[in-house]
Amino acid sequence: MLSRKSALSASSGIWMKSLGHLVVLASLCCLISGYSERDRVHDLMSKYPLIDGHNDLALQLRIRHNNRLSQVDLHNVSKVATDITRLQAGHVQAQMFAVYVMCGAQEKDAVRLTLEQIDVIRRMCTEYQDFELVTSAQELRNSEMRHKIACLISIEGGHSIDSSLPALRMFYQLGVRSMALTHSCNTPWAESSSKLYNVYQRQNNSLTHFGKAVVEEMNRLGMIVDLSHTSWDTAWAALKHSKAPVIFSHSSSFSICSHGRNVPDWLLLDLKKKHGLIMVNLHNNFISCSDDANISRVADHFDHIKKVIGAESIGIGGDFEGAVSFPQGLEDVSKYPALIQELLQRNWTESELADVLRKNFLRVFEEVERVRDRMTLSRPSEVQISFEEVQNPCRLVLRRPVPRGPSHQSPFSRAPHEPKGLPILAIVLLLSSLLMIE
């Protein structure tokens, strides 16, 4: 008679064989039916097409074509990772296009350059029928039903508003629906994660009084606060101060890759409390902290973030066109299905992936709009930053010009309609009359 232990061992062996047979049978069924993992990914992404949080195509249009859209066919663009054909192949239904202006323009012509980048995004998203410019969550949903690629405009760096809330409001009027508080430089009111630029250095003041006013005005307008590129202290302060959920539009996990642009677990937990969203960046340096990476390493970031705060707080922000190297197998926007297939193989459910692909972003966008609606009675903010904080020699001070020369007479003292040549004419006439008398 078999002992209980032997019986259990035999039973376990039979169960393992049965499980093996089921796996083989399932594989055979897939082969017979022709339904592969790729088909599963295709069906999933057709039902829940991707909303991508960050793409710098507009930057490449400036670098390569000086924003001359007439020189390029956006259906097929060489030397870049993004065009209409590849967006469609990658099941990208909505793209947050970044308006990026280099930090060197901060005390110069950042506002003009920002306007030019908004212009090129608006043009490409209205001149091409495959694109559709959207400015609300409902318009985003409607564009999916019309089988369009929705374009959302995001400013990448608070230096673009030149420390001006009226400028922020005007950008909103032009269709901007998201703004990162910093890029790779500090602004007079917020701190960057980067140390590339030695500007606006402050101690223990990562989000100033004016910086908080920027966040408040973005809440009032219904503009998404983006914390990618900010320092952790600034991100934490903005999370605490914002009335609406915030996003990291293209950042990854610091626990997997200890790069300052990535987000540590303690900050992820605060993000979850705020019902916010981290959209995982695919740039090699933020994925593997080196120039080389692969899809498996990208999936490690997704797995870790899900473990810490859940799939309901995750999205995708590829950062194509803004970075120079991407993981093998994820070289351009058409390759997103490969990432979803990897996550499916890691036992992510279709419901979780539907959240990651689009539902999480829609939830955040709709909540941002609900906060805006609750603030309808709030008047536009009139908070201004001091000249001492801005320290910008190019910033005009509105005052009367200093008089020139030894005379202390004000240039405004002359009668408003008195011709400048009238005194000279009077002298000439007087001399003429004296000569006539002689």
Catalytic residue set: 54, 56, 156, 183, 229, 250, 319
Neighbouring C-beta atoms of residue 389, cutoff 10 Å: 17
Which residues are 294's β-sheet partners?
328
Question: What single letter denotes the amino acid at residue 146?
Answer: R
Q: What CA–CA distance (Å, rounded) separates 292 from 375? A: 46
- The token pair at 242 is 């914002």
Question: What single letter denotes the amino acid at residue 54?
Answer: H
Q: What CA–CA distance (Å, rounded) separates 239 from 275? A: 10
- The token pair at 329 is 């197998």
Among residues 321, 287, 238, which one has the least CA distance to residue 52? Answer: 321
Residue whose entry in the numeric block shows the structure tokens 């009084």: 209
Among residues 135, 188, 137, which one has the least CA distance to residue 391? Answer: 188
Q: What CA–CA distance (Å, rounded) separates 164 from 321? A: 28
C-alpha to C-alpha distances, 122 to 21, 57, 58, nearest whole angstrom: 56, 13, 10
Q: What CA–CA distance (Å, rounded) separates 402 from 410? A: 8
Strand, coil or helix: 263: strand
Compute the residue count for the chain.
438
State residue 200 phi and psi, 5-degree precision.
50, 50
Q: What CA–CA distance (Å, rounded) separates 280 from 319? A: 9
Question: What single letter denotes the amino acid at residue 381?
Answer: S
Q: What CA–CA distance (Å, rounded) separates 247 from 271? A: 8
Task: Assign 3-state DSSP to the chain and report helix, strand, coil percentages, each to 5.
Answer: 50, 10, 40
